[in-house]
Amino acid sequence: MTKISIMLLLLLISVTQSNAQITAPIRTTIKKDTLKKTTATTQTKTALPAPTPQTSTNNSIYKLTAARVNIRTGSDNKEYLSEVTVLLDAFSVGSTMVQPGGNMRNEMKINSNYEVGLQKPSWQHSEDNRLLTSFQKEGLLLTIHYLPNLITDAWKIEGVTLTLEFRDQNNNLHPTLGSKTIVFNNANGFLNYWDRKLVCRADASFTPLTSSIKQ
């Protein structure tokens, strides 16, 4: 073969190899991590069910746990040894708290205020009398019973205030009636040997109604 023929043959072989490299398939490599991320983003999230709302039940039972009476003495004092008994009644059930007269024999001076706490009567065994619901049925009566030591003794009253405290079985105060004060502005007059009682009444909403002197 001549030199020209050999050169042409070598040129042909070189061109053939170049075409083979150009037409070779291109492989694309996808990393496993990328595939996992792509798959994860295509998954639909499952919504969790809404929590069941808690139902709160109020089982509180409120009753009278304390009562205080403030008495304003006017121009005539209550003499020493004259007794005063204070009674608090829920109108629908009867006596709820009391302060016996034997504990109130001291003098109450003119133009002064005297406060006394009431207590559960020794003869009372039922708690129903002191339930808040008992007072909310028909209201209450507050009676100040005067027992003069001498027939000539007298006592001038010019005002009475009653403060009630209601708590539940867990000793929690009632949200609106935990401490309720009732002012009997019309509670005034003379108590003596013949007219011995001052009776004050409030309705089921603890609003003062009347105050009257009775025998």
Give the pLDDT band of residue 209 (cuts 50, 70, 90): very high
Highest mean pLDDT among 38-47, 89-98, 131-140: 131-140
Per cent of the chain over pLDDT 70 is 73
Cα–Cα–Cα angle for 158, 162, 166, rounded to 5 degrees: 175
Whether 79 has a pLDDT exceeding 80, the answer reads yes
What percent of the chain is predicted at pLDDT more than 90? 66
Residue bearing tokens 């509670």 = 187
How is the chain split into domains, by residue range?
Answer: 63-214
Report the b/e string of 82-103 with b at 16+ CB within 10 A.
Answer: bbbbbbbbbbbbebbbbbeeee
Is pLDDT of 3 > 50? yes
Gap between the Cα atoms of 82 and 149, Å rounded: 4
**Among 40, 99, 35, 109, CA closest to 67:** 99
Q: How many CB atoms lie within 10 A of CB 178?
A: 15
Tens digits of residue pLDDT in 165-190: 999 999 999 999 999 999 999 999 99
> Which CATH code fits 63-214?
2.60.60.20
pTM above 0.75, yes or no: no
- Per-residue pLDDT reduced to its tens digit, 112-168: 999 999 999 887 777 888 999 999 999 999 999 999 999 999 999 999 999 999 999
Cβ atoms of 205 and 135 closer than 8 Å: no
The confidence score (pLDDT) of residue 6 equals 57
